Amino acid sequence: MKILYFASLKEKIGRSEEDIDCPPGAQTVGDLLGWLQARGEGYAHAFEDTALIKAAVDQEHATLDAPIAGAREIAFFPPVTGG
């Protein structure tokens, strides 16, 4: 699946997207986030405060308990600040 990062998360991780195989046992957005946190310093820093992480599954807002089975694109980003 494709993982996308935006804004401050993109800068902390040092990339805007990557392709990964769904980690074994990961069923929800939160499971995936936990797996990503352990991938390295940049990831740990980016995902430090999970209360400030928003996610989208296939371009729709999703909560951390949303299932990821069959998802093609999962995005992580800080709370939005447009308008």
Residues that bind other proteins (CB under 8 A): 4, 6-8, 56, 59-61, 75, 77-83
Based on CB atoms, which residue is closest to other proteins, 38 or 61?
61
Based on CB atoms, which residue is closest to other proteins, 36 or 75?
75
Question: Least distance from C-beta 6 to other proteins, angstroms?
Answer: 6
Please list, residue by residue across 40-51, b when 16 or more beta carbons sit within 10 angstroms of its beta carbon and e when fewer do. Answer: eeebeebbeeee
Based on CB atoms, which residue is closest to other proteins, 34 or 78?
78
CB-based contacts of 30, cutoff 8 Å, min separation 6: 50, 64, 65
